[in-house]
Homo-oligomer: A and B are copies of this chain.
Amino acid sequence: MTDTIDVVGIVGSLRRQSFSRRLALALTAVAPASLKVDLAPIGGLPLYDQDEDADPPAPWREFRERVRRADAVLFVTPEYNRSVPGVLKNAIDVGSRPYGQSAWNGKPCAVVSCSPGSQGAFGANHHLRQSLVFLNMPVMQQPEAYIGGVDKLVDENGKFSNPSTGEFCRGVMASFERWIQTVRGGG
């Protein structure tokens, strides 16, 4: 019997019909049974302000608690202006504080980026990875997942409309499960 792995999914766009959200749902559906992926909303998080750390707003506390409970993190994000969307970076900043109490610490993770265009949000993907170094989050290296043309690959119900994309993403999630087991098994 395999234990269930609690994966918190963070989606980098607030738009209701966002491609990233659809893709996150589609990834969830093709994940190995042991991975329970649950999306944590980030749109209600007030902008990070260190002056609030002494008495943090309730949404910060809840988000930090949700991340802390998770065994692993799945980031699914578009690119805004060649980098991580502000809304996603704010969630990362909120989760990382107060100093010394980061909720992200040590959690294995994966990054999937997407765009309607051909580049699949390469810039956002790698900027996010630079933050993961500081956050001490062991990140899966391969397969890299830059999903270009996402608007044609995932439908509005979060189903893959393209079988080969579905197979690729099934492989991404299977690798992610192995990566999580590797990181957890160690030490």
Contacts and interface: CB of A to CB of B under 8 A. Distances in A.
Interface residues of A, number: 59
A130 B92 contact: no
Given A92-B81, A178-B186, A141 B130 contact: no
B118 A93 contact: no
Contact of A89 (B86, B130, B185): B86
Nearest to A18: B50
Interface in A159-187: 178-179, 181-183, 185-187
Contacts of A126: 82, 123, 130, 133
A141 B131 contact: no
B15 A51 contact: yes
A86 B83 contact: no
A70 interface: no
A119 B115 CA distance: 11
Given A14-B51, A49-B14, A93 B85 contact: yes
Contacts of A141: 132-139
A32 interface: no
Nearest to A182: B186
A87 B86 contact: yes
Contact of A90 (B87, B96, B119, B183): B87
